[in-house]
Amino acid sequence: MRARYPDTDGYVDRDGVKIYYEVYENAGPTVLLMPTWSMFDSRHWKMQIPYLSRHFRVVTFDARGNGKSDRPKEAEAHHLKEYLADAIAVLDETKTGQAFVAGVCLGGYYTLQLAARHPGRVQGIVVFAPASQLSGVYPETVIPERAEYPWDEELDTTEGWAKDNKYHWLRDYPDYVDFFIKQCVSEPHSTKLIEDGIGWALETDGELLVAVDEGATDFVVNEEAVAAYRSITCPVLVIQGTDDHIVSHRAGIKVAELTGGQVVLVGGACHFVHAREPVKANLLIKGFVDRVTGTPPPSLLWTRGLARRKRALYISSPIGLGHARRDVAIAEELRELRPDLEIDWLAQHPVTRVLEDAGERIHPASEHLSSESSHIESEQGEHDLNCFQALRRMDEIILANFMVFQEVVDEGLYDLVIGDEAWDIDYYWHENPELKRCANVWMTDFVGYLPMGDGSDNEAFLTADYNAEMIEHVARFPGVRDQAIFVGNPEDIVPDSFGPDLPLIRDWTEDNFKFSGYVTGFIPPDPEAVAAIRADLGYEDGEQVCVVTIGGSGVGRDLLERVIAAYPEAKRKVPELRMVVVAGPRIDPDSLPSHEGLEVHGYVPRLYRHLSVCDLAVAQGGLTTTMELTAANRPFLYFPLRNHFEQNLHVRHRLERYGAGIHMDYATSAPDAIAEAISSAIGSEVQYQQVETDGAARAASIIAELV
């Protein structure tokens, strides 16, 4: 799922070749994001589009040869003049008179040539690691390894840069792609970007890329390129990584010198600076456009520190509702300790439902957040969600939401940020620690990505790599997390290691976190109060109440439908059964099957009251619902999502420690088996290990130390 989709898209036809474009409408200047080498489509700009399109009008198009554009195989269709004519045609089709133009690598070369040949259409240019075509004039711009082998001769080796060869492309294009992308993305812990690059590159083939390179006969090179660059009159910004294995950073310096532009060198960065260091890249592009257009910074009300109230910005993970309930409880306790503290919430649906019910103040910038819940729902199968891979594929949404957050913090004069599993903030503040503006609290109820037992060796490698990066982040920049709080106790942490040659998760967590105990967000009722609460909720004496709930996301539809299918048989076995199905805020209850006597509801405020007095609950494997039931000593069945490492490993470990719940396997639980389990468990007496009731107060006391 994308962080933002275009407002309009379409094709422009040039001499029988259709070029696909997208437009993201906004007021102000237009930024044209140029295509690069035909190995990639315009999705390589995915980390820039959501942020830039909140400030500017953005236009992108796929280069001929990839994406949704046509793929002509004739060399003459790939002359430089054709790519420049495509750009002009897209500008004309989208009614764009002038634009700021940005390009990467070969796209940077196209951008420079566009500015030289069509100066009236270009207000300014930003080029990342531009392919300069200056090697004959400035030998220092050449990377020696790349120049070692000829491109158009048969070679007797395919080692290293010998893969960058016409005949190898035609024989084994996937092998070349794997090598080339890993040269483009040489920074450690870049597995997702490497996967993206390989995926984009495999959308075309070696035959087409040969045509692209053979079509470069009209490229302006050496002395002609020097003259072209010197003719550019618009402002120029060159951004280049110093560890670029594709284009030497000396070439970027030379382009800036010839164009009279500015160069920003990104130390240790790879070829794809815009994708691997997207926060820096985004801020540089926006800052450049703002300077050229003379756009002033936003007007702010500044109040001297001692004269303003203390302010906190709270971010609660939107994947489910459990985080929101516990975070509201913590906020209430925090206000008891710090009555002068103002709290704003940067939040999205379904968290906003809980916050609105609690009377909390939601920051208006929340409307700019991209939906994480929708993305997670888009990743599900039938009661199946590989949440680790889903989180990886949420990378552009995480970045887009971080950019919203950073602007709020920059403008808001906050004393404190509290992030409950706010992955975007934790990751990108560790990647860009200079952007941290105030004290920061990181909260989570699990630590460590783990591969599922039936996962591949590759998933084990990936989870370990992500864990290693997190460990390195915390070790290198311990001040990013002023406090780290684990919502639970040391025994709740799985006994596994983070991966080969990495520490044990529990040992590392004890060294780097404080423990609040579990935060239920409510006080379980005394046994003598249960009857009164049941009556208040409309449950009658003699009824056997079974509450079925799957949390705040729409991922649990399959489980709801299967339990609903089990209802007639369960009702036959338990005549006193009253089944209450709670679809939550993201599933329309009318879209679910129904039976006579079955109750189906949407979002239910304070659902914990129903759970705390029911005779049985049927739940997914999420931590919040199952721990609410554990705290209330209610019997329950739980069905962890297949391939969901947190529910199957972290949550199940915790529940087994408390001796709570009956684990069920969705794949082997037909409706009749579920009906049998309901009839066996409903109304049973249980006695779990006691769950503390002061977790919110303990978490608040840790946070209060910072304000």
Tally of structural domains, the chain = 4
Instruction: Pick the range with the lowest mean pLDDT from 182-191, 581-590, 611-620.
Output: 581-590
Where b means 16+ CB within 10 Å and e means fewer, 609-647 reads bbbbbbbbbbbbbbbbbbbbbbbbbbbbbbbbbbbbbbb
Phi, psi for residue 489 in degrees, rounded to 5 = -125, 160
Residues 341 and 402 in one domain: yes
pLDDT digits (tens, 9 = 90+) for 264-296: 999 999 999 999 999 999 999 999 999 999 998
Is the pLDDT score of 585 beyond 70?
A: yes
CA distances from 403 to 369, 397, 406, 549, 592 (A): 9, 10, 5, 34, 37
pLDDT digits (tens, 9 = 90+) for 108-166: 999 999 999 999 999 999 999 999 999 999 999 999 999 999 999 999 999 999 999 99
Residues 135 and 155 in one domain: no
pLDDT digits (tens, 9 = 90+) for 483-504: 999 999 999 999 999 999 999 9
Angle at 488 between CA 487 and CA 492, to 5 degrees: 135
Residues 85 and 227 in one domain: yes
Q: Which residue has the tokens 């639980």?
A: 669
Beta bridge partners of 362: 345
Question: Is residue 305 very low, low, confident or very high in pLDDT (cuts 50, 70, 90)?
Answer: confident
Question: Is residue 596 very low, low, confident or very high in pLDDT (cuts 50, 70, 90)?
Answer: very high
Q: CATH number, domain at 547?
A: 3.40.50.2000
First-to-final CA distance of the chain: 38
Is the pLDDT score of 552 beyond 80?
A: no
- Domain end, chosen from 293, 313, 333, is at 293
Within a 13 Å sphere around the CA of 94, how many CA atoms are in the beta-carbon half? 31
Residues 169 and 267 in one domain: no
Output DSSP code: residue 10.
E
Residues 195 and 85 in one domain: no
Q: Which residue has the tokens 């009749």?
A: 672
* Dist CA 20 CA 70 (whole Å): 8
Contact in structure between 248 and 142 (CB atoms under 8 Å): yes
Query: Which residue, 505, 454, 495, is CA-closest to 656?
Result: 495
CA distances from 337 to 196, 341, 699 (A): 47, 9, 11
Question: Is residue 442 very low, low, confident or very high in pLDDT (cuts 50, 70, 90)?
Answer: very high
- Domain end, chosen from 213, 242, 264, is at 213
The three state secondary structure string of 136-163 is CCCHHHCCHHHHCCCCCCCCCCCCHHHH
Contact in structure between 40 and 66 (CB atoms under 8 Å): yes
pLDDT, mean of residues 588-611: 93
Residues 319 and 416 in one domain: yes
| Residue 662 host element (H or E) | strand 662-663
* Dist CA 11 CA 61 (whole Å): 9
Beta bridge partners of 351: none
In this structure, the number of other CB atoms found within 10 A of the CB of residue 494 comes to: 18
Is the pLDDT score of 455 beyond 70?
A: no
Q: Give the three-state DSSP class for 363.
A: coil
Residues 97 and 162 in one domain: no
Structural domain including 168 reads 142-213
Q: Give the three-state DSSP class for 398.
A: helix
Q: Which residues contact 367 (CB under 8 A, 6 or more apart)?
A: none
129 in a domain, yes or no? Answer: yes
Residues 150 and 124 in one domain: no
Residues 280 and 314 in one domain: no
Look at residue 641 in the predicted model and tell me its pLDDT. 96
Query: Which residue, 403, 445, 376, is CA-closest to 281?
Result: 403
Say whether pTM exceeds 0.75.
Answer: yes
574 in a domain, yes or no? Answer: yes
The three state secondary structure string of 488-517 is CCHHHCCCCECCCCCCEHHHHHHHHCEECC
111 in a domain, yes or no? Answer: yes
pLDDT, mean of residues 510-534: 94
688 in a domain, yes or no? Answer: no
* Dist CA 45 CA 378 (whole Å): 22
pLDDT, mean of residues 365-372: 96
Mean pLDDT, the chain, rounded, equals 96
CA distances from 3 to 233, 349, 395, 672 (A): 35, 15, 9, 41
Token pair, residue 110, equals: 């196209």
Look at residue 156 in the predicted model and tell me its pLDDT. 95
687 in a domain, yes or no? Answer: no
In this structure, the number of other CB atoms found within 10 A of the CB of residue 150 comes to: 12
Contact in structure between 106 and 131 (CB atoms under 8 Å): yes
Regarding beta strands 99-104 and 30-33, do their DSSP bridges make them parallel or antiparallel, or are they unpaired?
Answer: parallel
pLDDT digits (tens, 9 = 90+) for 48-94: 999 999 999 999 999 999 999 999 999 999 999 999 999 999 999 99
189 in a domain, yes or no? Answer: yes
In this structure, the number of other CB atoms found within 10 A of the CB of residue 218 comes to: 11
Is the pLDDT score of 300 beyond 90?
A: no
Residues 673 and 549 in one domain: yes
Which is more confident, 511 or 586?
Answer: 511
547 in a domain, yes or no? Answer: yes
- Domain end, chosen from 165, 187, 213, is at 213
CA distances from 286 to 102, 120, 289, 481, 553 (A): 11, 21, 5, 28, 35
Query: Which residue, 524, 666, 550, is CA-closest to 602?
Result: 550
Is the pLDDT score of 194 beyond 70?
A: yes
Q: CATH number, domain at 14?
A: 3.40.50.1820
Q: Give the three-state DSSP class for 323.
A: helix
Longest dimension (CA), the chain: 92
Query: Which residue, 50, 60, 49, 66, is CA-closest to 9?
Result: 60
pLDDT digits (tens, 9 = 90+) for 663-683: 999 999 999 999 999 999 999
Residues 569 and 480 in one domain: no
Contact in structure between 348 and 372 (CB atoms under 8 Å): yes
* Dist CA 470 CA 466 (whole Å): 6
2 in a domain, yes or no? Answer: no
3-state helix, strand, coil in the chain (%, to 5): 45, 15, 40
Residues 157 and 287 in one domain: no
